[in-house]
Amino acid sequence: MSLAVVTGSSGLIGSETVKFLHNKGFDVLGIDNNMREYFFGADGSVEWNTKSLTTQLKSFRHHAIDIRNESKVNELFAAHGKSIELIIHTAAQPSHDWAAREPLTDFSINATGTVVLLEATRRFAPDATFIFTSTNKVYGDAPNLLPLVELDSRWEIDRSHKYSDFGIDEQLSIDQSKHSVFGASKVAADVMCQEYGRYFGLKTGTFRGGCLTGPSHSGAELHGFLAYLVKCVVTGRPYTIFGYKGKQVRDNIHSHDLVEAFWQFHQNPRAGVVYNMGGSRHSNCSMIEAIHIVQEMTGKELQYTLSDEARAGDHIWYVSDVRSFQRDYPSWSYQYDLKSILKEMVGAAQERYGSGK
């Protein structure tokens, strides 16, 4: 039987990956020590998901290991050696704002933890596929320098610009921009994944995600835009929009569609490649637009306030151009659009928190 390692296995992308690979017949080793609760408090805890996975999946084994702990990571990898076929690394400190509070913690998790995993792969499972979930924040605030136009409910890029039709491609510079502390730590991890592919020949694929979302997301105010928004509408909790009049645009990709892209990559892996991966023009919205859709779906009004203070390094408009991945892996396609994503998330939130009525 095939063996996979998934870090951040109780988080949104990690748990979706675990279930996907389990259904494919893999034995799955999950690594997750619930650091989200440390980052975000009770809202961010993934303990509920750990219990669900361990209860429902017979070929899943959970390990509460900190990815920064080199000896523990090496011990796990050494125990299974070359039987490890696939490593999908989703564990991270994911918040701009939180990173600024503890830069050393943020960097040690995002950058050092990634190198620990890469080195364990090189030593003990050099033939395995290594997939890393990076972020569009590696481009810093460079997207904010694009020619943007303010419309009634969103910002948009000028129609004459080369990114207008399909979004931002991988050629945008990651240099000479303000990344936030979080963005900088992810840049380090992103580049090291490329280097372990180019220098050591590992089969590494780096996916620079837009907004990754889905019903298993433990959304919190500092991370998980759509999940936290849906939670606030369903539970009647007030919501704050930070900057840009709520017109900032995000592209949103369902966790299943992202994991399917991982699977396609694993079928024919390359060394040291990078792909932008998000909802593209297929699935994107401004915060105001998302609020209106969720209100319509739930029949409830969100009590929100607009703050003039934007988050450092935040994007005004970001839409991913995913054509590079589609050219290399033409069998991949989206299964979810924005409204189907939100409908599923609303249903999951109502089940988890009650309808609020």
Distances from the Cα of 162 to the Cαs of 146, 157, 211, 281, 317, in angstroms?
10, 9, 22, 14, 14
The helix, strand and coil proportions of the chain, stated in percent and rounded to the nearest 5, come to 45, 20, 35
DSSP string, 20-78: HHHHTT-EEEEE---HHHHHHGGGG--HHHHHHHHHH-TTEEEE---TT-HHHHHHHHH
Mean pLDDT of 312-326: 93
* Alpha helices (H) in 225-331, listed in sequence order: 225-235, 255-267, 287-298, 323-328
Taking residues 129-153, report their average pLDDT.
97
Q: Looking at residue 354, what is its pLDDT?
A: 76
DSSP structural state of residue 304: E
Long-range contacts (CB closer than 8 Å, 24 or more residues apart) made by 268-272? 268/329, 269/129, 269/203, 269/205, 270/197, 270/203, 270/205, 270/328, 271/197, 271/198, 271/201, 271/202, 271/203, 271/204, 272/193, 272/194, 272/195, 272/196, 272/197, 272/198, 272/202, 272/204
Instruction: Find the range with the poorest average confidence among 128-142, 301-315, 338-352.
Output: 301-315
pLDDT of residue 205: 98
Q: What is the pLDDT of residues 46-94, one digit of tens each?
A: 999 999 999 999 999 999 999 999 999 999 999 998 899 999 999 999 8
- Is 312 in a helix, a strand, or coil? coil
pLDDT of residue 314: 83
Q: Would you call 148 helix, strand, or coil by DSSP?
A: strand
Q: Between 133 and 353, whose confidence is greater?
A: 133
What pLDDT shows up at residue 219?
Answer: 56
Structure tokens at 289: 């637009």
pLDDT score for 355: 61
Residue with tokens 């970001």: 318
Q: What is the pLDDT of residues 149-186, one digit of tens each?
A: 999 999 999 999 999 999 999 999 999 999 999 999 99
Average pLDDT, the chain: 94
Q: Using one digit for the tens of pLDDT, what is the confidence trace for 226-257?
A: 888 898 999 999 999 888 999 999 999 999 99
Domains contained in the chain, CATH given: 3-353 (3.40.50.720)
pLDDT at 357 > cutoff 50: no
Q: Tell me which H or E stretch contains 98.
A: helix 96-101
> In this predicted structure, what is the pLDDT of residue 220?
55
Mean pLDDT along residues 125-133? 98
- The dihedral of CA 14, 16, 20, 22: what is its sign? positive
Is residue 313 predicted with pLDDT exceeding 50? yes
Q: Is the pLDDT of residue 296 over 50?
A: yes
Burial class (CB in 10 A: 0-12, 13-18, 19+), 200: middle
pLDDT-derived band of residue 40, with 50, 70 and 90 as boundaries?
confident
For residues 320 and 279, the answer to whether their CB atoms sit within 8 Å is: yes
